[in-house]
Amino acid sequence: MRRTTRYQYRRRKKRSQSLLKAGIPVLAVVLIVVTVLVIKGGKKIPSGPSDVSSISSSVTVSSISSEPVSSEIVPGPTSSELEEQRLFQERYDRAKNVLLANFTHPNYKDPDDLVYLKDVLGKKYKINASYFQLSHDTAYALKEMLDAASEDGITTYIINSAYRDRKQQQSFWDNRLAKDPTYGDDVYANPVKTVPATASEHCTGLAIDILCESVPHGTSDYKDTKEAKWLAENAWKYGFILRYPEDSTHITGVMFEPWHYRYVGKDVAKDIHESGLCLEAYLESLGLPPEAANDETTAP
Ligand SMILES: [Zn+2]
């Protein structure tokens, strides 16, 4: 750079000296110098248009490349995708009103359509207490299920528990905590058997504990009885789901209870049965329940 500058300076100096020798006026020298500068500057001009052309060409390229996108025919959903969307919507509509009562979705609503089980079931089926009640539809669905089991030769069920009022359920929880203050500290790591009233399905009138003559209490060996196996296989047909499955205790927060069945209606029970999910996971797969739904609908 320095060499070039020095070289140009020498050349310019040499040229000036020769012009002076030739007797040309200073003004002419200035004019020549200006002309030279203009020509030198002019050399840069070609780079201008080339830049412009590169810009315009890039604009052209981008506009060309964007054209096919806008005019491209975007393929619509395939028929199988449309069918999947339709099925999802159907499942969503069926499940959106299913009550979820658990540790994260406390329920404060009491059922207003309780009926006595003895009135619905008569004397054909064994009920542990004559005061047992269930919500109307749940009671009749239970009768339909027990009738079907009878037709399959199973007549030894015992209804061990049904609706429990809030006060009773809460006393179970409080008594449990009195014995062990850490009980229920982390139900997802250490699932519980007793829950507070707000998390209890028995307070909704939609759940039953159904055992049998050979295993009349809620113990783990019940799951191996023919009665428990029949329920596990068939309960969904009558609108019931096994509410606390063995592989979902980390989601439900409740221990595996092969005797606890929850009424959700036949369509939803079928959907849940086919999904293989517990109620929480199934509802979540549909984006349910909507945020704070329980707060709005069940707050005291
Ligand atoms: Zn139960």
Report the CATH number that the domain containing residue 183 is assigned in CATH. Answer: 3.30.1380.10
257 is catalytic: yes
pLDDT at 72: 77
Lowest mean pLDDT among 20-34, 135-149, 227-241: 20-34
Strands (DSSP E) contained in 140-186 are: 157-161
Residue 150 near residue 126 (C-beta atoms within 8 A) = no
Among 39, 71, 103, give the residue marking a domain's end.
Answer: 71
CA–centroid distance, 209 to ligand 1, in Å, is 5
Residue 60 lies in a domain: yes
Q: Average pLDDT in the 122-151 region?
A: 97
Cα distance between residue 112 and residue 133, in whole Å: 11
| Distance from the alpha carbon of residue 202 to the mean position of ligand 1, in angstroms | 6
* Domain coverage including residue 13: 2-71
Judge if 139 and 253 occupy the same domain. Answer: yes
Specify whether 35 is located in the same domain as 67: yes
Q: Please state whether beta strands 260-263 and 240-242 pair in parallel, antiparallel, or not at all (unpaired).
A: antiparallel
Instruction: Give the residue from 28, 43, 71 where a domain finishes.
Output: 71
| pLDDT (tens digit per residue) in 283-292 | 999 999 876 5
**87 and 7 together in one domain:** no
Give residue-wise pLDDT tens across range 248-300.
999 999 999 999 999 999 999 999 999 999 999 999 999 998 765 555 444 44
Do 65 and 98 belong to one domain?
A: no
Judge whether 264 lies within some domain.
yes
Alpha-carbon torsion, ordered 202, 205, 206, 211, to 10 deg: 60
Number of H helices, E strands in the chain: 12, 7
Amino acid at 83: E
- Between the CA of residue 252 and those of 73, 205, 218, 238, what are the distances in Å? 47, 19, 18, 22
271 Cα to the center of ligand 1, angstroms: 22
pLDDT the model gives residue 209: 98
Q: Are residues 161 and 268 in the same domain?
A: yes
Give the residue from 14, 42, 71 where a domain finishes: 71
- Listed residue (208, 206, 244, 245) closest to 107, CA to CA: 206
Task: Based on the fold, state whether residues 196 and 274 are members of the same structural domain.
Answer: yes
Identify the active-site residue in 257, 274, 291, 296. 257
Residues 93 and 138 in one domain: yes
CA of residue 94 to ligand 1 center, whole Å: 24
The model scores a pTM over 0.85: no
Least confident range of 36-45, 91-100, 156-165, 234-243:
36-45
Measured in angstroms, how far is the CA atom of residue 290 from the centroid of ligand 1? 26
Instruction: Please count the structural domains in the chain.
Output: 2
pLDDT per residue over 186-218, tens digit each? Answer: 999 999 999 999 999 999 999 999 999 999 999
Per-residue model confidence (pLDDT) at position 17: 43
- 93 and 41, same structural domain? no
Residues with CB under 5 A from ligand 1 (ion): 209, 260
- Please indicate, yes or no, whether residues 47 and 93 belong to a single structural domain of this protein: no
